[in-house]
Amino acid sequence: MIKSKKDKMKDVQVKRKHRLMIQEKTITQDEYLNEVEEWVDWWSAKAERLELFGSDYYAAKQFGEEKTIKWKLKYVASRAEEINTNKFRVINIRTNEVFDIKDTDYLNDDGQFFILKCEKSGDLDA
């Protein structure tokens, strides 16, 4: 479905008020040569939070995943293509919530935005 110019402008004007930090899991070695998993800041981006509703919500609820959140981010080819669900996680900087990435979805809008489907996994330790 092709969007009208008016609909495209609405997408551009939406305030993305959530600042996200996408972190990558890296494996390093400590001084005793033990492997240590660390989360390294990889990309900071502003995003719009989209709640599940309707059929998406009920489908997630069947699997006990009703705490799933969708984040709508500006598409950046060099970054978005690299994200996979095993090596990356999302942190909402404003609320210190940590989310595991479950899926990525590229919208059919001329490549302007993409969606990260995430499930809350906890909070950052203060």
Question: Which residue segments constitute the domains of the chain, with CATH numbers given?
Answer: 18-123 (2.40.10.270)
8-17, 30-39, 42-51: least confidently modelled range: 8-17
**pLDDT band at residue 40 using 50, 70 and 90 as cut-offs:** very high
Residue 85 three-state SS: coil
pLDDT of residue 10: 59
pLDDT of residue 6: 67
Strand pairing partners for 71? Answer: 49, 116
**CB-CB contact of 117 with 105 (8 Å):** yes
**Nearest in space to 90 (alpha carbons), one of 59, 62, 68:** 68
pTM of the model as a whole: 0.75
The alpha carbon torsion through 41, 43, 48, 51 (nearest 10 deg) reads: -50
Is residue 12 over pLDDT 60? no
**pLDDT band at residue 94 using 50, 70 and 90 as cut-offs:** confident
pLDDT of residue 2: 66
**CB-CB contact of 45 with 70 (8 Å):** no
Percentage above 70 pLDDT, the chain: 82
